[in-house]
Structure 1
Amino acid sequence: MKSAPLCVRSLSRLFEYALALTAWKQAGGVRWALRANPSSGNLHPTEGYVLVGGLDELDGPGLFHYAPREHLLERRADCPPELMAKLLRGFPPHAF
């Protein structure tokens, strides 16, 4: 597979296939969500975070948390371009 620049659609698919809610179950008065990733006891301790550089749709570089119920990225912190450049130093161009 040929590499391609990161886009919002591919990032969305990554989180959808890895951590999204896939169905809702109900028994009696209790309702709970099933997720794409397995979890003993349906506790789901796994959280998804991504550090993104330059995607126009995300209004600049930042650290984002994946919210599976809403299927969206929540900005947790801005990442100044200088810091992003330092974090990416040592990786091949367009690695992220």
Structure 2
Amino acid sequence: MSDKANVYDIQPDGTLVVDVRSDLLDPLNTREVIPLVPLGTTLQPSKHLNPVIHIAEQDLILATQFVAAVPLSELKTSVASLAEHNIDVIAALDMLYQRL
């Protein structure tokens, strides 16, 4: 079963990230993740780059511009899934990498 679009808590402060790597990269020991930051923080969301996602009674911004690779060992237990937001996540990545 794919772990893509699963949300993980990777920091003691409760920082959440979403796994966005392609299934083709499963053999690698790293994963590409995008942080989720609380709405109302200093990050001003851009409509297509930073969709707002509702998880566990809170609104979070997909901070696509902060995509990073992390060791697979950092991703322990999934706390949520963004599968229903797949189109928004793909559009945000498209905005980051394809739009000039």
Which one has more relative contact order, counting CA pairs under 8 Å at least 6 apart?
A: 2
User: TM-score by structure 1 length?
Assistant: 0.29
Structure index of larger Rg: 1
User: TM-score by structure 2 length?
Assistant: 0.28
